[in-house]
Amino acid sequence: MVTLLDFKDIQEKVSTHFRPWQRSFQFWLRTVDIYTGYKVAQIVGKPDLAPAAWVRRLVTLCDRAPVTPFDDIRLVLEKELSRSVGEIFDRFDVEPLGSASIAQVHRARLRGDKSDVVVKVQHPGIQDLMMTDIHNLQAFALYMQKTDIKFDLFSITKEMEKQIGYEFDFVREANAMDKIRRFLYENNRKPPVLVPRPIRNLVSRRVLVMEFINGIPILNLGDEIAKRGVDPHGKIAEAAKKKILQSLTLAYGQMILTSGFFHADPHPGNILVGLLDYGQVKDLPENLRLGYANLVLAIADSDPKRASESYRELGIDTLSKCENEEHEMLKLAQTMFDTKLPPGVVMLQPFSEESSIKKIAVQAFPEELFSVLRTVHLLRGLSVGLGINYSCAEQWRPIAEEALYRAGRLKGAPSDLIGLIHRHIHLLEAALFLHSFSHAGWCLLRFVVFFSFSIWQNLNILPQLHVLSVSYA
């Protein structure tokens, strides 16, 4: 009996087998191109050109993710959910809302429901390709840290490998979404950001159905404001952008410093009026959460000694031979863990010979702290994109103080509380200037009376203080 060969099947198997090799080849071609640009920039005396070169190249890996054909998406859906698309959905948009590196999302409507949902479906075969990228990146990181950048890049890529590995499990993502949603909704009168609700009976390892949140990508705010006839560069637009950025920063401060469990991927595509994509989340160990809270206070207070102590507590091992080491350590902390840019600076230049990272070698960096570092840098990118220069450390100061106070780490609590009164005294001033004592005025005055009485009683009122200060910010 003659067996007919299925050439299409053979072609697909061969193609699948060689895809990681092809991916590696493409990666190293791009890497050589990027690194050559970096070296040329050094030669001509413009090392600050390197970040732009990196961004131009890496953007091609982020915003041009190919769309998986709908027939393949249908196969994944029906295999994962054990039902046909028609049985589950009354309507399913064939064209995706967007396609990223790991998955693409479609808008749909469940049978018998009036609200739309988002269906996130993993690209077939993507896990092997992503892991190939990470292993190539690790090899590149080892080379870079031994030649040009005196920073423990390899530890960072190891954390990336672990975090990206988690992204392929959508059941884990749905659990993270629920946990963060509960935390933000239970700890605020009004949550600073919206979090979509997963549809629990429609979640599997490769498919996630969730509530649809309609909104505008955060970096498109200017265009949307202009469409409504408002000057995108005027005071009204600036106030709106500040309010959104403050709400987002508040949410992250609460997640990182109060809970320790946080959304670790705040790139512009994941931010509308809410936070999307919970594939990358991080659960900080208690010692790192409190150590980072201490570093936040050091940055907010421009305290070089405290910054050095915090680095040691966090396990960040540094080596320096420069003069005024503590001052440079503070500058390094501000560069790494704050969003604020120095006056007149529109872009940090970490490759410059004058940068702190060139003067202080970071020999060891805790892998688990990488997600915090990445989150702060993404928030900084958002602030630059919106044209707003602000300090997340200053906004997080009361949250960091509360975290340390609850852990018994703040010494001389009464004087610390008096300091907090001074920082919140504007609430009393606002109340006194409110005409005819509106409801808000009475609330503010009640707060001041309650706060003063609690100080007198020497009670632990920091949690209440934080909630009230947030509510009236």
SS3 of 19-47: the string is: HHHHHHHHHHHHHHHHHHHHHHHHHCCCC
CA distance 353 to 88: 59
**b/e for 381-400, b at 16 or more Cβ within 10 A?**
bbbeebeeebbbbbbbbbbb
Instruction: Residue 26: count other Cβ atoms within 10 Å of its Cβ.
Output: 13
- Where do runs of H (alpha helix) occur along 344-461? 356-359, 370-386, 392-406, 413-423, 425-433, 439-457
What are the structural domain ranges in the chain? Answer: 7-64+127-166, 216-410, 412-473
CB 105 within 8 A of CB 120: yes
* 166 pLDDT more than 90: no
In single-letter form, the type of residue at position 249 comes to T
CA distance 59 to 52: 10
Q: Residue 309: its pLDDT value, please? A: 93
Q: Residue 215: its pLDDT value, please? A: 79
C-alpha pair distances (Å), 89 with each of 76, 86, 103, 151, 208: 15, 5, 19, 50, 14
- Which residue would you say has higher pLDDT here, 278 or 160? 278
State phi, psi for 348 to the nearest 5 degrees: -65, 150
- Kindly state the average pLDDT of the residues 295-304: 96
CB 328 within 8 A of CB 117: no
Residue in 401, 433, 436 with CA at minimum distance from that of residue 415: 401
Tokens 């010494």 found at: 411
**Neighbour-count burial of 105, counting CB atoms closer than 10 A to its CB (0-12 exposed, 13-18 middle, 19+ buried):** buried
At residue 259 the predicted structure's pLDDT band, cuts being 50, 70 and 90, is very high
* Per-residue pLDDT tens over the stretch 328-358: 889 889 988 999 987 666 566 655 666 666 6
Residues in the chain: 473
182 alpha carbon, distance to own chain's centre: 18
CB 126 within 8 A of CB 93: no
At residue 274 the predicted structure's pLDDT band, cuts being 50, 70 and 90, is confident
> Distance between terminal CA atoms of the chain?
81
- Kindly state the average pLDDT of the residues 432-459: 43
For 203-217, 278-292, 303-317, 333-347, which range has the lowest pLDDT when averaged over its residues? Answer: 333-347
CA distance 218 to 244: 9
* 377 pLDDT more than 80: yes
169: Cβ contacts below 8 Å, ≥ 6 apart: 205
Average pLDDT, the chain: 75
CA distance 23 to 5: 28
Q: Residue 267: its pLDDT value, please? A: 64
**Interhelix angle for 304-314 vs 286-300, to 10°?**
160
Q: Which two tokens stand for residue 392?
A: 């997340």
Residue in 390, 394, 372, 382 with CA at minimum distance from that of residue 257: 372
Q: Residue 9: its pLDDT value, please? A: 53
- Which residue would you say has higher pLDDT here, 181 or 266? 181
Contacts 24+ apart (CB under 8 A), 161-164: 161/131, 161/134, 161/135, 162/367, 163/264, 163/280, 163/282, 163/371, 164/130, 164/131, 164/134, 164/280
Q: What percent of the chain has pLDDT over 90?
A: 36
CB 38 within 8 A of CB 53: yes
- Which residue would you say has higher pLDDT here, 274 or 50? 274
